[in-house]
Each structure stands twice: as structure tokens, then as C-alpha cells.
Amino acid sequence: MKLIMLGAPGAGKGTQAKMIAEKYSIPHVSTGDIFRANIKNGTELGIEAKKYMDQGQLVPDELTVKILLDRVAQEDCKNGYVLDGFPRTIPQAEVLDNALTELGDKVDFAINVDVPDENIIGRMGGRRACVKCGATYHVVYNAPKTEGVCDACGDKLILRADDEPETVKKRLNVYHEQTQPLIEYYGNKGILKEVDGTVDMKDVFAAICDILG
């Protein structure tokens, strides 16, 4: 079972990807994690990717797909995987499709966790992060025991710049422009499945499990 998670930043697709990975015993493959692992381990692909990143440039799609295929070729991915954070654009999806086709492989489902912009702005504006240990909370859905104080280490919690409404709006604009077209792309391929991401996290997961069987 090979899956791609789609959805706007803050839609909760990363959380769902982890839950799917656990239930179906397949790896949760995050492109950010793969990049970090390759760079840390000094692999040939990691060194090449780091050259672009050090110059503040985006890693080219072909190299990103190479790093991704290297990861999904590992033994733990033989029964499938959940891709989180890739593809982000139509050209990336096309490069990935072509590479998988050459291997006689394909993606089974693209699951879109659908959440309106206003919900996302409200959700992300309620996030709080610990500056010391990195633990994250939400003032409504996962509040700390003491307001503004981390349960884990007792340090103060902040609203990260990434989660401020203006920043979230900018990120959503980029999503609508670059990533949202993937919904139509995978719809045309007949593998798109949509779930309502505004309901409780467990209900979103139950809907995804109904799709996957």
C-alpha cells in the first residue's frame, strides 16, 4: 500500500500519516526527515542536496526523487509507505510517477485531508511551542496544565513566527498556488480520496481506514 498525503499546512496530514504508518505497519516517509538523515550520514545524495541548501536554493525535483526512491527501496518499505511532504508541485508528481513507472511501481492512493483556510488559521494561531525542549501544545485541543508553561520541562511556551496569522496566510497562498493543483492531478488519475479534516482527529483517521480497508 503506497500512499501520498495531501492537505494544506496545518490540516493534520502529518499526524494522520503517523497513525496510518502505525496501524498498517508501513513507514511514514517524510522528505524533511530523509534529507536530514542523508546529510547527517554524509551520503552521496545528501552531500549533493546540502550544496543547494547551503546556498539557500531548493533541491531540484530530480535529486529529491532520487533521495526518495533510495529511501523507499529499503527493506522496511517492501509492503508500502506513506509519503508526507512530497510531492508539493505537479512537476514533482510527474517526476515521481515516471520514476515509479520505470520500476514497475505506482502510488495506490492520494488522500486529501480537506480543511478550509479559516479553520487552519484558527488552529495554527492556537499552537504553542516550548523554546527549550520543542514540545508542542494547542490552547484548545491540547492545552498545557499551566497556561504558557511547558508540562515537560517547565519552560515558557511561545507562538512561533510560523504560526502567526499573517505567516499562515502566506503559507496557504503558496499551498493554493503550488500544491492544491495536485488534487485535480490525482483525481484525474483516479486515485484521489478526500476526507473531512475539520472533524475530530480520531474520526478523520476512521474515515481514512474505511478507504484503505
Which residues are known catalytic residues? Answer: 13, 88, 127, 160, 171
Q: Measure the CA angle with vertex 59, ends 89 and 70; round to 5°.
A: 90
CB of 6 closer than 8 Å to CB of 179: yes
Q: How far apart are CA 158 and CA 21, in angstroms?
A: 30
In what side-by-side order are the strands of the sheet with 136-138?
136-138, 127-130, 157-158
Report the 10 Å Cβ neighbour count for 68: 25
Cell of 92: 514533482
Relative to beta strand 136-138, strand 127-130 is antiparallel
Return the C-alpha torsion angle 197, 199, 205, 209, nearest 10.
-90
